[in-house]
């Protein structure tokens, strides 16, 4: 019953963790350790207690987060909609997730949250999707879609002969806009409700 919160540094991971836990606004700083909390997720007229783990966004700590995928029901991936360079880095991380053995085997669902959607320079979700797909396609070609460093989990990402689309990922991928600064978490809660219905 665990949700992994992944994404860029400064994208709102820890803010989301506390907002959905009902602990209100927090002063966040970059962390080198995971933060944990418990969420009460509305499910079919009742509520379900769900463990949430917010992992630091530093690339050198990704393996720590990936080790927890075996226990994850789903992933919430936070993006900063106005950080173009960060979106390219996020695409690299998503490539690693989409080809990870646990994501492939268990078809783990991923929610991509385009945070700061109300910012003047924010990209619309459709533009974020296009950028992610383009970057992942480039990596798919350059890496030959083999999962680096984990040969036992090597798998082809996407459909051979077709440009990569998010719907080609092993599990379902949903992309939603959000503004955590304005407490806009409805789409995220809806996703969690559907994931934990059974």
pLDDT digits (tens, 9 = 90+) for 63-78: 888 888 999 999 999 9
3-state class (DSSP) for residue 24: coil
Tally of domains in the chain: 1
Report the CATH number that the domain containing residue 143 is assigned in CATH: 3.40.50.300
CA atoms of 34 and 46, how far apart (whole Å):
29
Average pLDDT over every residue of 41-60: 86
Range of the structural domain that residue 69 is part of: 2-195
Q: What is the DSSP letter of 179?
A: B
- Characterize the bridge pairing of strands 46-54 and 35-43: antiparallel
CA atoms of 95 and 139, how far apart (whole Å):
8
Is there a contact between 173 and 114 (Cβ–Cβ < 8 Å)? no
- Write out pLDDT tens, residues 128-179: 999 999 999 998 888 764 444 444 444 678 888 888 999 999 999 999 999 9
Q: Is the dihedral of CA 100, 113, 136, 129 positive or negative?
A: positive
pTM higher than 0.85, yes or no? Answer: yes
Burial of residue 89 (CB within 10 Å: 0-12, 13-18, 19+) is: middle
């Amino acid at each position: 019953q665990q949700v992994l919160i992944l994404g860029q540094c400064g994208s709102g991971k820890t803010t989301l963790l506390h907002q959905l836990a009902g602990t209100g606004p927090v002063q966040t700083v970059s962390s080198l350790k995971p933060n944990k909390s418990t969420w009460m997720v509305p499910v079919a007229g009742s509520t379900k207690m769900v463990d949430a783990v917010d992992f630091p966004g530093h690339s050198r700590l990704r393996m720590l987060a990936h080790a927890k995928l075996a226990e994850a029901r789903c992933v919430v991936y936070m993006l900063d909609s106005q950080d173009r360079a960060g979106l390219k880095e996020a695409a690299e991380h998503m490539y690693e997730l989409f080809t990870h053995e646990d994501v492939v085997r268990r078809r783990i669902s991923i929610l991509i949250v385009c945070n700061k959607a109300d910012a003047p320079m924010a990209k619309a979700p459709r533009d974020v999707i296009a950028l992610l797909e383009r970057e992942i396609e480039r990596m798919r070609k350059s890496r030959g879609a083999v999962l680096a460093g984990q040969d036992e989990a090597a798998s082809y990402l996407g459909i051979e002969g077709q440009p990569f689309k998010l719907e080609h990922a092993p599990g379902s991928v949903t992309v939603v806009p959000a503004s955590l600064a304005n407490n806009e978490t409805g789409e995220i809660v809806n996703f969690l409700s559907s994931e934990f219905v059974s």
